[in-house]
Structure 1
Amino acid sequence: MSQRDGHSGHGRFWFGTGLGQFLTVELKDFPGRRVAAARLFAVTLIIALVSQTLHVPPLGALSILVCLSYDAYANAGQSLAFGLRQLYYLFITVLVSVLTLMLAGNEPWLLLSLSFVIMALALFHARLIAWPTGIALWYSIPVLYSPTTPDQNIYQALWNIPIIGVLGLGTWTLVHLSIKPQDPRRLLTDGIAEQLSAVAAIFSGRLADAGIEGQPKTGHKAAGAGQFGKLQALLGHAELLHPSMRRQHDTYLDLLQEIDGLRQMAVWLEQSLAADYRAQPMSPEKLAVYLALQEACAALRQGIAEHRDISGQVETLLDERTLLGYAQTSHPSVMTAFWRALQRIAALTGELHRDAQHRNEEPNAAADDEAMAKWRPAWLDYAFWATHADSLQFGIKFSLGAILCMLIVQGLNWPDINTAIPTCLVAAQTSLGADYRLSLLRISGAAIGGLCAYVYVLLLQSQFDTIIGFALATIPFWALAAWITAGSDRIAYLGRQLGFSFALFVLHDFGAVTDLYLPRDRVIGILLGLVVMGILDYALWPRRSSVLARHHCIAALRTLAKFGVRLPDPSHLLSYTLPLRLAAEKELAAAQGLLAHAVLEPDARVPAKAHERTALRAIIRDADHLSALLQVRKRYRLLSGQRFGQFPAELQQHSRAFDTALSLALEQTAEILQGSRRDSAKRVAEFQAQLKQSYIEHHRIDSLPADWALEWELRFILDEQITTLIENMQQSALIAGQNSWDSGDQT
């Protein structure tokens, strides 16, 4: 078995590579990382200097941990939203902490019980909304660190926690808004222009194939995973900084979806055309259509990049007479689909420039009445907790770990190892494998940070006795922590722990550091927290990464099964297709991440588990490709000029049967993964062949000119690609399901 699948020792820990190769990739320099590292470096240095100047050193270390835990690549809108939301959570934490200490501070068992419930609910909420576990972590500092001194803890909750929040969050937010702040609207515009540029490059390549001079044949950059989701998030961030955009939210969302759909169709066409066909000359009519498409796409890109309304120019370029010179109303055409998509994009850009009113701005009394009728919160119903039982177990398990560590620290009367308490909360991850990987990074970062602290004390501290000297002596260590933290998620946490460990040591007190035992005790505390959580995580509701990945794959397949619904017109793409597409992407991304951690789990080297991971990776890859093809198929139907209602009843029947077979096959694949089915469906290809034969007979495709025969061939290729992917996924699901049952996992 290859290193990638985790059978090599170093491959398991370093994502299928050796340590040297892993560090080479993860410490690589690029412009974006320089900016992110500069931000984190500025934040840590400012906090360190403020903590030394104002004599709040211990709080400075915690503030550094807070600021290093947040996204260093955040744009201006994202930074502002994150900072405001975290400050709100900070206020809630202070209020809850003070009330808890006032009501139960002198009753140890009541305090423990109440703290367990509060932290469990905080962790449940964080897991539910996929947000950092800040409330539980901040709550543990004043309440659990020294439970025998409730009066002093109230003071810490009222003053120390707000200082940590303001010093950490405030500095982080101000620095992100000061050092090369990125306007999310500009990023959104650039992202849209990049999408159109890729489509224009594909059209230029087709024209170059036809021998048209002046058309460069350049490769287009493939869209990254979740690119649409990133643009949608940028839209939300832009609306925070530019409130006027909120009136046009739906228009922007329509535009993003139309451009993304156009690119998906163009990429599919580029990948589906055979090399021998590319070399064939185009008919003059088809050439004219391609030229118009390429010019319209280039004009739209330029107009969006320059914030100009070019909808009128595009309408002129997309003259209907040019399309009608090639297209036949009785035959659907991918060229017609491109044409209609560009027309819709031009109309939407024109609407944005005309500052059209929000389409749902008018009050809707019926909607208000319906909302009032549903006043009852969802969390009052049993179904809500049953649905989110996994998140509830997550909160209970890690809250219990923090309580146990607090009891151990108090029982040993060793307060300097209280880092075990936040370790349980910070190590709260989605699965066993993720917990183990984070634990490895946490202990490694703490150890390296401790070594850096000893180097500082032994070699540098004695050389300086001023605040400027302190800054000069510590700059290399803040820079190292910032650079590592600015890396990917695979290594960033090591940098956070390095920075926190170093800060906890050098900022422990005002002036020179003399307590050389602190790094040792901190590492011991972390080890204690990891051991406690490792035992609890493995014994109490263990969440295996491969099992969770299978659950996410099942959810994604059932979401994709709903793509078979035939929509009446393109206006339903936003309301029906978009939520399904985002849900499928989210599930597949979660499954992919879980499989990266599965190799660290205790039984990862069992052959059945390795085969299961391989099969699940194949399902994720094919499902992602299938999602794009299903969206292309839906757009092709709605925009290609096809008049389904005018087709013969028999052809319509075959088409609906094929749609039903696709949905049923995806549902059956999900059942195979779930373990409730042991055989694959074979009828998808049969229905696809029947539909193809029906189209050939009705439209007499064999007698059509070459261009139109290819149009139909492309449609058949699309259906065959979808059929092949589903068959491949069913075979992979059978392998994954069989190995799952062989290894004893039950879903």
Structure 2
Amino acid sequence: MSNGGPQPASVPNERRGGLWFGTSLTQFLIAELRDFPGRRVAALRLFIVSLIIALVSQTLHVPPLGAIALLICLSYDAYANAGQSLAFGMRQLGYISVTTLISVVTLMFAGNDAWLLLPLSFIILAVALFHARLIAWPTGIALWYSVAVLYGPSTPEQGIYNALWNIPIIGVLAIGSWTVVHLTIKPQDPLKQLKASIAAQLAAVETILSTRLADSGVTLQTQAMPKHTIPDSLGKILVLLANTELLHPSTHQQHDTYLALLLEIDGLRQIAIWLDQTLTPAFRRQPMDQEKLNVYLALQSACAMLRQGVEESRDVSGQIGTLLTDAVLHSYAPQTNPSILTAMWRALQRITGLLHDLHQPDTDVPTLAGETDDDETEGRWFPAWFGYAFWATHADSLQFGIKFSLGAIVCALIVESLGWPAINTAIPTCLVAAQTSLGADYRLSLLRLSGAVVGGLCAYFYVLVFQSQLDTVAGFALATAPFWALAAWISSGSERIAYLGRQLGFSFAMFVLHDFGPVSDLYLPRDRVAGIFLGIIVMGVLDYALWPRRSIVLARHHSIAALHTIAKLTARLPDLGVLLTHTLPLRLSADKDLAAAQDLVVHAILEPDAKLSHKIYERTTLSALIEAAGKLSGLLQIRRRYRLLSGQQFSHFPDELQQYSRAFDKALASELENAALMLQGGQQETWTEVADIHELLKQSYTKHHRIDSLPADLALEWELRFRLDQQIMELVEKIQITARDSVDL
């Protein structure tokens, strides 16, 4: 095998610190434990919930489910806004009720027959895990079921007792206190967060326009440039919208308007950032005539007004309508000459109209028709999951459920055969380790084991130093508070370290909340770590023996899916009416696949044979492909918006120009499909000379619009437009080369 060339500079860093994401342990801890205001609030919430559970467990002498309740509350998003907290709490309460019912019925029906209980539990766990994977939701049902049924399969009466306590302890104490605390301590209104997000994107565009004006000597008061958002930021904003609709039902009636608004603002921000990055110093030094300067001033003022209107919840459409008059635009760019500034102008007008509609609650907003597969569903009377196609599509999720439920059953058999119930933590370990890939399984298993060891040491320290000196509930709260605070602080960090904090808190709680009063069972931390180690070993063997899900393979599959989706963005849309229904699903799908692929590449570092040179090169090339695909997706969206908003009249173009334009789009899509085919291990189809087609298209544009005779400013607009195509072609070529290199090993 050949690695295909010299290794990139990033490879040594990967070799040095794969476990700590390319850094040393000290750098990792400094970055992950750093202090910032938002984290203080999040950690305070988790600390209060932990203290509530600990005090209730000690004062009311509830069954030993307090530790599980604490683990659950530490596992939820400490940064959740009010709407997200309410939705999460309601959904989890419903799941816990379903789990309780299933657990009790199972124990009543098969509790006395081990030969029936274990196969039935295997099926229930597999279905629960399949469902969790299908909806991308935590594996709560499987975990709660395993605690109630598999922790003591030889004592079904005790299992029923524990299952019936699930609702008051886990449901009310954990989920209820978590929800109440989040709705009480600095609750964050998702509507305010949504407005702040919209205002931040408008501020970004405003700052870019102000910078461009500064190139011509016009100095305006501007805000600091906000950081460019991550690829899935639009998806996160849409989640904010969903949370807003839950907390403010009136916004649900304007759902389509909000969707169109968010897509328009995101598109405007993309164009502005691209323009700022593309303009070279030589371009910036060129003086602007007064007409172009007037357009920039109007755009910058409109952005500032819109931002202020959003922040203050005011309708500023009247002011902006007076400001963005077509006479100002057409004095610079006639209707026959498409331009980037025209696209931004039209986008701001559309944003203004949508914001105006939001301030008119009585206005009937037409529902946007989505793209549906009516032909596929028409005449089908049975659910989709009755058909073979459904299971073939979700075969990976089915294998996921079978494999990890089998691990839990195997661990239950080992625990019972050894007669060592204290190591039953092996059972939930198999379910907790149920992650997207082998590398993710290993990373979470390491965090789980590390957290259990640190939590056990904290428990021993508590017994040796504090327990003998404090014999009241107040003393118990005071003595354990530092440990709850430590667990809460680590749990409120990023996902790279948060699970360690959850396991630290769980291990400590398993020790101090195991029974009422002082702790005397000093073997508990040891047995808990032994159980976790057993679960990791069992799942490690099963991961290799049964449908191993290698991270790099899954990353490649997600990359292939993203390329197929991005290829669809090359198509020219007929009109603005289908921009939302066609572009938004493609944008979200591509972003989701690319983000998943990048995460999987990071997880691949922990897998066996990850340090082999060709594996390192494969990860490096795939990372480069994912990065290029993300940039290409953004550029294709910019080009799509340019075509619709810049004033182009495609139907009025000469037939030759239309033919070249369609051929260019088809060639780009074909090249991306070829790249996906190569990434899949197939043979590349016929090579299309994209550059030659684009050169013909460019000549046709030049001839039709007489670009050679245009004033300098308008000629610059066309130079920018052709530069956009050139960047797209360069990225497509890079993706093809990288795809070929990643499999040519």
TM-score band, normalised by the shorter chain?
over 0.9
Structure 2 residue 53 is matched with structure 1 residue 62:
no
**Is the 2:257–2:358 Cα contact (8 Å) retained in structure 1?**
yes
Tell me which residue corresponds to 1:533.
539
**Is the 2:206–2:304 Cα contact (8 Å) retained in structure 1?**
yes
| Aligned partner of 1:600 among 606, 609, 616 | 606
| Aligned partner of 1:588 among 587, 590, 594 | 594
Greater displacement, 254-263 / 565-574: 565-574
**Alignment of structure 1 residues 110-189 onto 2, 5 Å:** 110-189=116-195
After superposition, what is the alpha-carbon deviation per residue over 1:575-607, rounded to whole angstroms, capped at 9, x for unaligned?
001000000000000001101110111010111
**Is the 1:247–1:358 Cα contact (8 Å) retained in structure 2?**
no
**Is the 2:82–2:188 Cα contact (8 Å) retained in structure 1?**
yes
Distance 1:218 1:369 in 2: 51
Structure 2 residue 418 is matched with structure 1 residue 417:
no
- Paired residue type of 2:81: N
Tell me which residue corresponds to 2:257.
251
**Is the 2:369–2:581 Cα contact (8 Å) retained in structure 1?**
no
Greater displacement, 88-97 / 494-503: 88-97
**Is the 1:3–1:11 Cα contact (8 Å) retained in structure 2?**
no
Give SS of 2:64's match. helix
Structure 2 residue 664 is matched with structure 1 residue 658:
yes
Give SS of 1:238's match. helix
- Paired residue type of 1:311: S
Change (3 A) 1:733 1:367: closer
**Is the 1:442–1:497 Cα contact (8 Å) retained in structure 2?**
yes
Give SS of 2:288's match. coil
After superposition, what is the alpha-carbon deviation per residue over 1:290-334, rounded to whole angstroms, capped at 9, x for unaligned?
111111111000001100011111100101111111111221111
- Paired residue type of 1:346: T
- Paired residue type of 1:36: A
| Aligned partner of 2:318 among 312, 316, 332 | 312
Distance 1:211 1:353 in 2: 37
After superposition, what is the alpha-carbon deviation per residue over 1:229-258, rounded to whole angstroms, capped at 9, x for unaligned?
111110000000000000000001100000
Structure 2 residue 446 is matched with structure 1 residue 435:
no
Tell me which residue corresponds to 2:707.
701
Cα drift, residue 369 of structure 1: 13
Change (3 A) 1:7 1:107: farther
Cα drift, residue 644 of structure 1: 0.7
Structure 2 residue 615 is matched with structure 1 residue 609:
yes
Structure 2 residue 115 is matched with structure 1 residue 109:
yes
Structure 2 residue 69 is matched with structure 1 residue 75:
no
After superposition, what is the alpha-carbon deviation per residue over 1:133-172, rounded to whole angstroms, capped at 9, x for unaligned?
0000000111111111112212221224542222111111
**Is the 2:256–2:367 Cα contact (8 Å) retained in structure 1?**
no
| Aligned partner of 2:724 among 707, 710, 718 | 718
TM-score by length of 1: 0.96
- Paired residue type of 2:238: Q
Structure 2 residue 529 is matched with structure 1 residue 523:
yes
| Aligned partner of 1:50 among 36, 51, 56 | 56
**Is the 1:506–1:513 Cα contact (8 Å) retained in structure 2?**
yes
Distance 2:364 2:597 in 1: 37
Q: Unmatched 5+ residue regions in structure 1?
A: 740-747
**More RCO (CA 8 Å, sep 6+):** 2
Tell me which residue corresponds to 1:273.
279
Distance 2:641 2:632 in 1: 14
Distance 2:698 2:421 in 1: 74
- Paired residue type of 1:122: A
**Alignment of structure 1 residues 471-490 onto 2, 5 Å:** 471-490=477-496
Change (3 A) 1:576 1:713: same
**Is the 1:5–1:599 Cα contact (8 Å) retained in structure 2?**
no
Distance 2:230 2:536 in 1: 35
Distance 1:82 1:522 in 2: 29
Q: CA RMSD in A?
A: 2.0
| Aligned partner of 1:35 among 35, 38, 41 | 41
Q: Unmatched 5+ residue regions in structure 2?
A: 1-6
Percent of counterpart pairs with the same letter? 66
- Paired residue type of 2:326: E
Greater displacement, 75-84 / 49-58: 49-58
Change (3 A) 1:473 1:2: farther
- Paired residue type of 1:212: V
Give SS of 2:65's match. helix
Distance 2:228 2:65 in 1: 46
TM-score by length of 2: 0.96
Distance 1:502 1:595 in 2: 33
Cα drift, residue 221 of structure 1: 2.4
Tell me which residue corresponds to 1:324.
330
Give SS of 2:17's match. helix
**Alignment of structure 1 residues 221-240 onto 2, 5 Å:** 221-240=227-246
After superposition, what is the alpha-carbon deviation per residue over 1:673-729, rounded to whole angstroms, capped at 9, x for unaligned?
000025784512222222112111222211111011001001100000000000001
Distance 2:64 2:12 in 1: 40
- Paired residue type of 1:669: A
Cα drift, residue 464 of structure 1: 0.5
Give SS of 1:309's match. coil
Tell me which residue corresponds to 1:745.
none
| Aligned partner of 1:636 among 642, 647, 650 | 642
After superposition, what is the alpha-carbon deviation per residue over 1:83-136, rounded to whole angstroms, capped at 9, x for unaligned?
100111111101111111121112111111110011001001101111000000
Tell me which residue corresponds to 2:345.
339
Give SS of 1:177's match. helix
- Paired residue type of 1:310: V
| Aligned partner of 1:446 among 447, 452, 455 | 452
- Paired residue type of 1:120: A
Greater displacement, 76-85 / 10-19: 10-19
Give SS of 1:554's match. helix
Distance 1:6 1:100 in 2: 53
- Paired residue type of 1:199: V
Greater displacement, 616-625 / 95-104: 95-104
Change (3 A) 1:372 1:162: farther
- Paired residue type of 1:449: G
Tell me which residue corresponds to 1:386.
392
After superposition, what is the alpha-carbon deviation per residue over 1:29-86, rounded to whole angstroms, capped at 9, x for unaligned?
1111111111111110110011101012621111001101111111000010001001
Tell me which residue corresponds to 1:465.
471
Give SS of 1:571's match. helix
Cα drift, residue 2 of structure 1: 8.0
**Is the 2:456–2:525 Cα contact (8 Å) retained in structure 1?**
yes
After superposition, what is the alpha-carbon deviation per residue over 1:548-597, rounded to whole angstroms, capped at 9, x for unaligned?
00000000000001112211111211100100000000000000110111
Distance 1:600 1:75 in 2: 34
- Paired residue type of 2:180: L
Distance 2:334 2:517 in 1: 83
| Aligned partner of 2:23 among 8, 17, 28 | 17
Change (3 A) 1:83 1:100: same
Tell me which residue corresponds to 2:4.
none
Give SS of 1:428's match. coil
Cα drift, residue 281 of structure 1: 1.5
Tell me which residue corresponds to 1:735.
741
Tell me which residue corresponds to 1:743.
none
**Alignment of structure 1 residues 572-587 onto 2, 5 Å:** 572-587=578-593
What is the count of residue pairs matched by the alignment? 738
**Is the 1:441–1:493 Cα contact (8 Å) retained in structure 2?**
yes
Distance 1:372 1:148 in 2: 50
**Is the 1:3–1:12 Cα contact (8 Å) retained in structure 2?**
no
| Aligned partner of 1:551 among 544, 553, 557 | 557
- Paired residue type of 1:554: I
Cα drift, residue 635 of structure 1: 0.3
